[in-house]
Amino acid sequence: MKILGRLSLAAVLVAYGEVMLGSWTRINGAGMTCPDYPLCHGEFIPSMGGGTVWEWTHRVTAAVLSLLVLAVLATAWRYRKAASFVAPFASVIAALFAFQVFLGAATVHLSNSPISVVWHWGTAMAFVAALAGMAIFAFTSERSSSPQRVVRGHAALPLVLTVTATIAFVTMCIGAYVSSSGAGLACRDIPGCAGNVVVYTPGQYVQMLHRFVAAACLLASVVSFALVWALNASARVRIAASVGLTLVFVQIVLGLLNVALRLPIDLREAHAANAALVFLAFVSAAALAALDLYREQYARAR
């Protein structure tokens, strides 16, 4: 099971890098430098001028990721009867990866339209989360046979943390739409928009929606943080929730700086990268809380 955990973790790291490279490619205006798919200008190795290097590297990294995913799925097939979580996670990973490959081609054909970008980003992050879940469960299962103190689980914690991760996911997707639709500076004032609380243009609507959902994410993160400490959750759950809340505050600062400095490319990429980390932190916290609850119930049953 350890090899499954290591392969899954390696796939998480490569997939996260692939998502960030795709984001960097798009915000640098290089998203359509390869107008065909799967080749680029009809060639496997095209001329790298005009930003093509970013899009081509993104595709090469996707090919490397494909090999890693195949290795994860092959190993999961080998261990499918060793633990009940393996088959469901492997099925989700395979389905999301296949859909993501389809979306990669679709975004090219749709010229990186805002909706296609949101679907591509959202599916990519769900895929990374599934790989992270596989890694967490695999590593934890590897240690489950050794004697250890059973940590008390709380039925409310996995639910609350899952809700927080879901809100973070929705915030990311709306942010992807804001960025890809050119609405990043539709509201240049904080907390209002263009000097008004009530807004009118489509860009202002989506920008303010992003801010309201981000506020909900902050609230949910604070509630999650308070609960995991108040209910004395395991140290690993507390750490994951604490990291998540810290990253939310970092995200707020990055958002404010992006507006104040008029969307510099480096800050836009940092904003996207940190948003993904917020989501993954709460996904990890939810998975670990669910494992603690399962172990406590299993220990009671015995």
Q: Are 49 and 162 in contact (CB under 8 A)?
A: no
Phi then psi for residue 193, to 5 deg, are -140, 120
pLDDT score for 230: 94
pLDDT score for 118: 95
Residues 206, 257: Cα–Cα separation, whole Å:
19
pLDDT score for 171: 97
Nearest to 14 by CA among 56, 55, 54, 72: 72
DSSP classification of residue 79: T
pLDDT score for 255: 93
Q: Are 4 and 82 in contact (CB under 8 A)?
A: no
Residues 187, 209: Cα–Cα separation, whole Å:
11
Query: Could you report the per-residue pLDDT of 5-57, keeping only the tens digit for each?
Result: 999 999 999 999 999 998 998 888 877 788 877 778 788 888 887 788 888 89
pLDDT score for 108: 79
Residues 97, 131: Cα–Cα separation, whole Å:
10
Residues 259, 151: Cα–Cα separation, whole Å:
44
Q: Which residue stretches of the chain have pLDDT < 50?
A: 145-150
Residues 29, 27: Cα–Cα separation, whole Å:
5
> Hey, is 195 helix, strand or coil?
coil
Q: What is the pTM of this model?
A: 0.91
